[in-house]
Amino acid sequence: MADIESQIVNFYESTLATLLASAATSATVSSGPTSNGSTGINASASSPIYLVIDPDNSGAREVVSVTASSGTSFTTITRDLENRYGGTPPNHQVGTTIRLAVLSEHFKDMNDRLDVGIAALTGAVQTANIQDDDTFASPAANKVASSESIKAYVDANKGASIGLVIALG
């Protein structure tokens, strides 16, 4: 499970300005992706850009991940994410359309980030001091032992005002 935040921008489409040969992992595009039509965005390992190359051609369509870019230069491209081509992706010629589309990879990244966040929150809640009068106890008192204990506590106090302080750190 990777804790990465993939980038999604509205209406990014461009064309390849250089040949993207089968074994290539870098390319130049005619225009780089932007967040608002003018402010460029750059990919990184922790914030990749997923693209579809030749999206309207079912025989050559390829989903890729760009994990290093600057402007119109995509310097680190992971090819054939769907394994349609068994590790030997097609050549893409100059002028081939590339498009950012919402892909399953975006949702996988989002779910992974949620899982990491929920795990961190659960850990914080498990060590939080909870009392029904909104006061703090000594660190050893009133700790919630598990998510089942949290549910039981909430169920037992439905309708009551429950104070919860989570100390992250």
Q: Which residues face 49 on adjacent strands?
A: 7, 66
Q: pLDDT tens digits for the chain (169 residues)?
A: 465 666 666 688 999 999 999 999 999 999 999 878 778 888 888 788 889 999 999 999 999 989 999 999 999 999 999 999 998 999 999 999 999 877 556 556 566 666 666 666 666 666 555 544 444 444 444 455 555 566 666 666 665 544 554 545 4
pLDDT at residue 36, as a whole number:
80
pTM here? Answer: 0.61
- Tokens 């995509």 identify what position? 74
DSSP secondary structure string for all residues of 131-156:
-TTS----TTSSB--SHHHHHHHHHH
Q: Which residues face 78 on adjacent strands?
A: 65
Dihedrals phi, psi of 74, to nearest 5 degrees: -100, 105
pLDDT at residue 169, as a whole number:
45
pLDDT at residue 133, as a whole number:
47
